[in-house]
Amino acid sequence: MASHKLLISKLVLICIAMFGFGFALVPLYDVFCRFTGINGKTENTAAPASRRIDGSREIRVEFLANSDASIPWSFAPEIARLIVHPGEVKVVNFLAENLSADATIGRAVPSVSPGEAARYFKKIECFCFVEQPLDAHQGKAMPVQFYIDPDLPKHFTTITLSYRLYKSTPRTVNR
């Protein structure tokens, strides 16, 4: 009987540890990606006060969007691709429409590929990681303002900005 209690105690402790680890995974993953620069994670940045534009180079930027099955939205970039000069600020809209009869909240997660180019892709304004509420059958344009750092290595000629849209639940603040 004592051995059963010990086994049950160990199993409960393992379950609690696994549950805690599951919550810690997302922030740990974000820190890991920020530190290593892999997985195409980008950070929002301010536009530089003095920007140099490299008119001798052209970078093809492709835009992709897809939605998780849990969210009843259509979600797509306004344009599929754009040619930019490094240092040039551009704005591209992603169009979202709630196809359901209920208000829904979405949240988009970006990724840049190739991953090594992500550190040179600078977002000034982005709808990503911010809850985007849409009423039933409502649509809206969500802008991304960005530039590509002129220090981007010469072997990069195409960069892809991709968003994955997920259903989000409203957060409540405990007081």
- The pLDDT of residue 137: 96
Task: Look at residue 173 and tell me if it is in a domain.
Answer: no
Region of residue 129 (phi > 0: left; psi between -120 and 50: alpha; otherwise: beta):
left
Shared domain check, 86 and 8:
no
Shared domain check, 8 and 75:
no
Q: Kindly give the parts of the chain with pLDDT less than 70.
A: 23-50, 170-175
- The pLDDT of residue 20: 75
Shared domain check, 104 and 78:
yes
Q: How far apart are CA 62 and CA 113, in angstroms?
A: 10
Question: Which residues, including other chains, have CB under 8 Å from residue 100's CB and lie 6 or more apart?
Answer: 72, 136, 137
* CA angle 79–41–33, rounded 5-degree value: 165
- The pLDDT of residue 147: 95
Range of the domain at 60: 40-168
How many separate helices (H) and strands (E) can be counted in the chain?
A: 1, 9
Q: Give the residue among 109, 118, 107, 108 at the shortest CA–CA distance from 34.
A: 118
- The pLDDT of residue 42: 53
Task: Look at residue 95 and tell me if it is in a domain.
Answer: yes
Shared domain check, 79 and 123:
yes
CA distances from 170 to 12, 103, 115, 166, 167 (A): 31, 11, 31, 13, 10
Q: What is the CATH number of the domain that holds 80?
A: 2.60.370.10
The one-letter amino acid at 41 = K
Instruction: Output the CA torsion 65→67→72→78 (10° steps).
Output: 0
- The pLDDT of residue 40: 47
| pLDDT tens for each residue of 125-161 | 999 878 999 999 999 999 999 999 999 999 999 999 9
Shared domain check, 89 and 7:
no
Report how many domains make up the chain. Answer: 2
Shared domain check, 14 and 68:
no
Task: Look at residue 175 and tell me if it is in a domain.
Answer: no
- pTM (two decimals): 0.71
Shared domain check, 126 and 68:
yes
Longest dimension (CA), the chain: 78
- The pLDDT of residue 3: 78
Six token digits for residue 10: 């160990």
Task: Look at residue 174 and tell me if it is in a domain.
Answer: no
